[in-house]
Amino acid sequence: MDRVDSTNRYLDRQIKSGQIPLPCIAIADEQTSGVGRGANRWFSPPGCLMFSIAIEHSRLDPHRNAPSVAMLPLLVGLAVARALKPRVRSQPKVKWPNDVYIEDRKVCGILIESNTAGSMGYAIIGIGINCKVDLDHAPWEVRQNAVSLHEVMANGDSEEATCESVLVAFMQSWLELGSLCETQPDWIERNWPDWDWLVDRQIQVQQPSRTLFGKADGIGPDGSLRLIDSDANRHTILSGSVRVID
């Protein structure tokens, strides 16, 4: 599609109206009303790969050796990081639960939303990857924290940072990682340390009823973030806004 309000919203409308079956994908050149977590606006300039994938919740079932709904954000973030790794000069990392960073700057944002159509539950995964984005024209806060893939290519050839090639690489990584997790249900937990951007960093976790401070300590078997506070108390974080403070 050339232009759409949001690929997540577009897929949701199409699924609810019975226009398309699951799984499905929507790709857009421009989003006019893309959103991130909370009230964050999704900055989506030219050169940003923007797409959404919708899958049934029944495909996310720990009883059939598939990742659970709780593990889905980590699975998606890892799929992006694995897809980008051969192209870039530094190892991509995943900020729990699913943002992807290269050289401590954000290259990919992910928003996952769950919904239902009749008796069918489904998840819509919205992904935005800065492939060849001119960040000089981005808002100040984006310029401070974001990076475009073409700036960090391993061979310095920015022409290889195309949206089309990155999408193909992601789909291959997504399918491969899904297969790995079906045969090795603990794959994400075992391999997370190699991709963890937060490990051993001092962080703040903002939740509706409390704010936690401490050192990030990996993830649990259910995909939760583990945190050790200054009194050596261990906390399990299932949701919250995470910020590095060191």
Same domain, 123 and 211: no
Rounded distance between C-alpha atoms, residue 103 and residue 154, angstroms:
12
- Confidence band for 34, pLDDT divided at 50, 70 and 90: low
Helix axes 72-84, 163-183, angle to 10 degrees: 130
Same domain, 235 and 184: no
Q: Tell me: the pLDDT tens digits for 141-196?
A: 888 899 999 999 998 777 778 999 999 999 999 999 999 999 999 999 999 999 99
Same domain, 187 and 73: yes
Which CATH number do you get for residue 132?
3.30.930.10
Which CATH number do you get for residue 225?
2.30.30.100
Same domain, 182 and 213: no
Element (H, E) at 83: helix 72-84
Same domain, 77 and 174: yes
How many helices and strands, by DSSP H and E, does the chain display? Answer: 5, 13
* 119, 180, 204 from 177: Cα distances, Å: 28, 5, 30
Rounded distance between C-alpha atoms, residue 150 and residue 152, angstroms:
6
pLDDT of res. 16 = 93
Share of the chain above pLDDT 90, in %: 73
User: Nearest Cα to 141, choosing from 238, 40, 52?
Assistant: 40
User: What's the token pair of residue 246?
Assistant: 């060191």
Same domain, 178 and 58: yes
Same domain, 73 and 158: yes
Domain count, the chain: 2
Same domain, 11 and 89: yes
Same domain, 136 and 182: yes
User: Nearest Cα to 88, choosing from 101, 74, 69?
Assistant: 101
Same domain, 207 and 170: no
Contact predicate 123/55, CB 8 Å: yes
Q: What is the pLDDT averaged over residues 208-237?
A: 96
Same domain, 143 and 236: no
Q: Tell me: the pLDDT tens digits for 120-136?
A: 899 999 999 999 999 98
**For 12-26, 70-84, 154-168, 231-245, which range has the lowest pLDDT when averaged over its residues?**
154-168
The SS3 assignment for 110 reads strand
Residues 6+ apart with CB under 8 A from 225: 96, 97, 198, 205, 216, 219, 236, 237, 240, 242
- Structural domain boundaries, residue 213: 202-244
Same domain, 24 and 93: yes
* 18, 55, 59, 73, 187 from 120: Cα distances, Å: 12, 10, 11, 20, 28
